[in-house]
Structure formats: C-alpha cells, structure tokens
Chain A
Amino acid sequence: MHIMDILQNSVRARSGSIKLDIVEDRASDTFMFSITDNGCGIPREIFDTVTDPYVTTRNTRHVGLGLSLLKQNAERTGGGLSLISEEGKGTTVTARFINSHLDSPSTGDLASAVLLTMTSNPGINFEYNHIKDNRSIHFTTDEVRNALGAIPMNEPLVYPYLLGILKSELQSIGVS
C-alpha cells in the first residue's frame, strides 16, 4: 500500500521521472524502498511537519495520511523514514523496515502496484530497480515503450502481458 501511495504523491507533484528502488537484504534483515522524483518538491513551510496527518497540500480534504502512516509503520518495526526535498527540483522518500519484526508488513502485489501506476501515467518516465540479496532487476518505461512500438502503454490489452513479464522477472530474483 505504501509504495503505491507514495508513487501517487510523486505523480501529483507533476514529475517527469520517477525512480523506485527496493532493496531486500537478508543479512541485515531489512526491507528498504526509496522513491525519487523530479516534481515540484515539498513546500518549505510544511516540510518539517509534513508527516503530521493533519498537514496536506490537498484542498479536497484536510488530512494527509500517506507519509504519516508510512513513518508510523516503518518506525514500529524498528526502521524509519527519511525525506529529502527541494522546491522546484524534487523529492526522495526512503523508508526502511526490519523484516523479522512482528509488525513488519507484507509487500503485497508489487508488480501490479508498480504497473498500474506506470501504465496510467504514460507521460512519466519510470525506473524500477529491485535488489534482493545479490540479484536484481531493472524495469523501465523506455524498455516497455520500445517493446510496444506504436501501441500506447495505457491500452488495456497490454496490461496483463506486462504484469506477466514483471512478475516473471521478480520471481527470477526470488520475489514472490
């Protein structure tokens, strides 16, 4: 849930590029994800309080739960959250979880979470890197566009094929 949620923040920040890095390391018992975008950045005046659930840049409602829930859940497992942002340049959100902790959440269906965001926003360049122990995958919108030719990424027919491909790549590095 968190990964999809934070990716949405990057989309809403009018990013042209979004990079998702996931690192799973059994030796250090950690699951870490980092989302970097080149969007509008977090306004300076709310940066220090942006993980407060009552702080948001939205005007449809007065709560912003994404970062506050992420921080709470990461810290609950003994991990944490870090934010780097510069207005006009972009934001990097990094969350770290301790895998063996009782409250460590499962990742859910990563492939569909990434692909639904990617294919819904064909104008954004996505890069997804996933490292599990010593094996890795690298999946980008450039490669997808190359494979599809003139067929747009948001064509519904294409989604199940892309999902099968990404799941297969993740399985090859031991991510179910």
Chain B
Amino acid sequence: MEKIKSLADLRKLQETLKAKIDLREISNDADSRIQVKVAMATCGIASGAKEVMEAFIEEFTKRNIGAVVTQTGCMGYCYAEPTVEVTKPGADPITFGYVDVKKVSKIIDKYIIKNELLEGIIPVNYQSIDNKF
C-alpha cells in the first residue's frame, strides 16, 4: 500500500482506488455485499470491539472482498462481547460472540467463504411478526 500523508495525496489516488473497486465488483456481484455489524456499546468497546472492527476491515481489504463493515449499538449480548452480526446475501444474519482478532480470520475463512458454521454463534431468541406471516 502506498504511504500517503495528506488528503491531497489521497485525491491523487482516487483513480487507482476506483479501478481496484470496479475490478472487484466485476468479479463479485456488486448488488450482494456481505454486511458485518460490530456491536460498539460500552461493554463492546471495553472488550475489544474496536480492534475486531479494524481486523475485519484489514482482512476484507487484504482478500479484496467488498463487504460493508459498520458499527451498531448494543445488541443485548453484553456477556459475550465483542459480538458481531454477519449477513451474507440471501441468508439470515448470524451473530457471533466472544469475537477476538484471531476469530475474525476464522469467521471469514469458514463462514463467509466456505459457508461452514463455527463455535460461538449466539442463537436468535426472537422472531418479528413480519417473519411469521
């Protein structure tokens, strides 16, 4: 990665970055992006959620996967922080608990790429009325 020190330098890189993104979106389906939400409330931040979020961004960048990584508020699983909800296109969201930087690679390798489940999944304990009828 080129080292840049200013927003002016970033502006010069616009075309290069855009080309990388366009190339990735030709090979992946641009409309079906993986969504990763990292719970970022007090308990999550104290448990290391910031580092987990950075690790997801770094891994997706390294592997050229066009996922959207974002923060969310407390999901209510304070006992299992850091928690991360992963939604693959066409699939229900899955929430992983006790996520650390090492587990980020496992989630990407096993669940996102190979579609294999792994330990630490927090089972859904609710269903909205819209899903029932």
Seen from chain A, the residues whose Cβ lies within 8 Å of a Cβ on chain B are 1, 4-5, 8, 11-12, 58, 60-61, 65-66, 69, 109, 112-113, 116-117, 120-121, 143-144, 146-151, 154-162, 164-165, 168
Contacts and interface: CB of A to CB of B under 8 A. Distances in A.
A143 B66 CA distance: 24
A130 to B, nearest CB: 16
A148 B60 contact: no
Contacts of B20: 157
A154 B33 CA distance: 13
B61 A160 contact: yes
Contacts of A61: 74, 76, 78
A121 B66 CA distance: 17
A60 B41 CA distance: 11
Contacts, number: 104
B68 interface: yes
22 contacts: A4-B40, A5-B42, A12-B73, A60-B73, A65-B42, A116-B54, A116-B71, A120-B53, A144-B7, A146-B7, A147-B8, A147-B11, A150-B18, A151-B18, A151-B21, A154-B68, A154-B69, A155-B17, A160-B1, A160-B61, A164-B4, A165-B4
A120 B49 CA distance: 14
B3 interface: yes
B7 A58 contact: no
B67 interface: yes
B60 A147 contact: no
B4 A161 contact: yes
B7 A159 contact: no
Given A147-B10, A165-B6, A158 B17 contact: yes
B87 interface: no
B57 A159 contact: yes
Interface residues of B, number: 40
A144 B4 CA distance: 14
A69 B42 contact: yes
A33 B5 CA distance: 25
B30 to A, nearest CB: 12
A4 B42 CA distance: 9
A159 B122 CA distance: 29
Q: Which residue, of B7, B43, B45, has the highest number of chain A Cβ atoms within 10 A?
A: B7
Given A5-B45, A165-B10, A154 B70 contact: yes
A58 B21 CA distance: 38
A7 to B, nearest CB: 9
A73 to B, nearest CB: 12
A104 B78 CA distance: 26
B4 to A, nearest CB: 6
Interface string B51-69: 0011001101100001111
